[in-house]
Structure 1
Amino acid sequence: MSLAIWGGVLGGLLGSGLLLVVARVLVLRRAPLEARVLPYVRDLAPVAPAPVAAPSAGVVGAVFGPLLRRAADGVERVLGGAPSVRRRLARAGIDRTVHDFRVEQVQWGLVGFSVTAAYGVLRTWTAATNPVPMVVLALVGFVLGVLWRDNRLTAQVKQRERAVLAEFPILAELLALAVAAGEGPVAALDRVVRRSGGALSADLSRVLAAVRTGQPVADAFDELAATTGVPVVARFAHGLAVALERGTPLADVLHAQAADVRESGRRELIEQGSRREIFMMVPVVFLVLPVTVIFAFWPGLVGLSLTTP
């Protein structure tokens, strides 16, 4: 094919793409019927127009969305483990489905593929290289991107669980104070949730929402104990459910739970300090001690070499 034919093909593709973009922009800029009619209807509050997504995002989603979804289905068939991913998403506080997470994994894999492919293209430009290893490297980059997103989810779970452990003693003490002041469990929970913010507060707000929809308080806390990944919070929720069922004083239970968490935190700090002591011995043994030995024996070795006939 000649250069003129290639130019015509590329020009046609560019024109078609620009035509699709312009058509999509015109559709997105058109206000919906509700936004145009409701402001002129009496006895109805005016409704602001819904936020419109960026044209490029809508075009990209419309064009590449089906491909990403099919790729996400392929990743799910290869990796599996949907229940584990669903549990980790819930423990990390991420409001997404497993399929949405698989789509994110595909996107991270495409980023890794793009980086390695760009490296391969630059390498072929600078020197003659066999393209097969570059293709294999690009595929490895895609796999590493997919696995990296999964590893990142695990890191998010651990980070949120550390935040929950840090918040738990304070929220338990606040609940104990509210219950000791004469409020009921639901009222105390509502007061604490409204005056706090964080990972554990979000979990307690879901418990409060379940209670307000008609679920018994003990069952809501049992569900929290079954879904949370923090053993301390699971024991707290289970103990609170048992106390509500048997009529045990809640203030004493909450104070005891907070004291147990603080004691476990103290033990963890002591264990971390003992491990840090071992790490602190590494520079002493491998850096300070050899330098000291050299300073002690080097002058004698030099003296012996000078006095030797």
Structure 2
Amino acid sequence: FDSMSARDPKTPVELSLREGLVDIGRCYLSDDDRLPNDVQVAEQWLMIGAEWGSLMGQMLLLQFHIALGQTAYDSRWLQAFRKWQSEEERGDFLWKNTNRRFEKLSSVAFELGLRAAIALQDAALAKEVSDCMQAASCDDLSLIGLQWQAERLLTQNEPIPEYSRQILGSITPGNDAKENQALSRFKTLLGPLPLQTWPDSPSWAEGLRQEYPWMVPAIDKLENEWALHHVTGHPVLKFRPLLLVGNPGLGKSRFVQSLGKTLGLPTAFLMMAGMNDNMMLKGTARGWSSARAGYLVDFMRENRQANPLVC
């Protein structure tokens, strides 16, 4: 085995000798009947291939270490992605031979590129990798979570509201394209949603008193909440739960609707009569056939508001 020809293969045979070392490591990693699963032996073979200059070996070794929990930024992620890009552009017969040996090589490159973009908070790199994935029609489900995180970088230059709240920290990808398509609706909750603030003056309360003179006790309580937030310098619109008690037709629901309109809040009305659990509010866990998000999360998503009014 000629070390010089392995480091700089000129023919498919020389390339096959070098990449064969990596193939052995891959077989030790997979459920291949020819070789037992042994991650330590797999790592050694991948390392040999990487040392001999195999890009496939370098990329698989980096992915292997990530799977073991080494997720702190490694500059080799970006280096490997750039090298893969240049090889793709060059596209000589040796590179095509390598791609035939390992058809998922592009997915590994995209993973390394996305991880580098997320770790560096580099929106330009995130867009570059996303464009490459789109051009390659990549539909690898294992990359969905990283794609969603990268998409957040693409909107980071958008103006952030002075007062906002991020509803979701992350979204765990599903097991199929249909589930991921449903989950993608909630990507907006990964970014900051605006929080409505209290009006500057108490004129809103006076207007409600004129329209609903029989609701003065409730309006007074709300005005006290406004005054407290105004004096303490907390402008985000927030008040303690308010219970309205009265006969049917008194105008309770209509008052809540007017309150939401006056304060500039999207208002949700939930009919809870006959409900024997709180699944409508909190949703159903994924894994069940009836899995769905809670109504409140859906309402915030639809209205892009982090503090809606709920009746």
Q: Do they fold alike, i.e. is TM over 0.5?
A: no
Larger radius of gyration: 1
TM-score by length of 1: 0.22
Between Structure 1 and Structure 2, the one with more helix by share is 1
TM-score by length of 2: 0.22
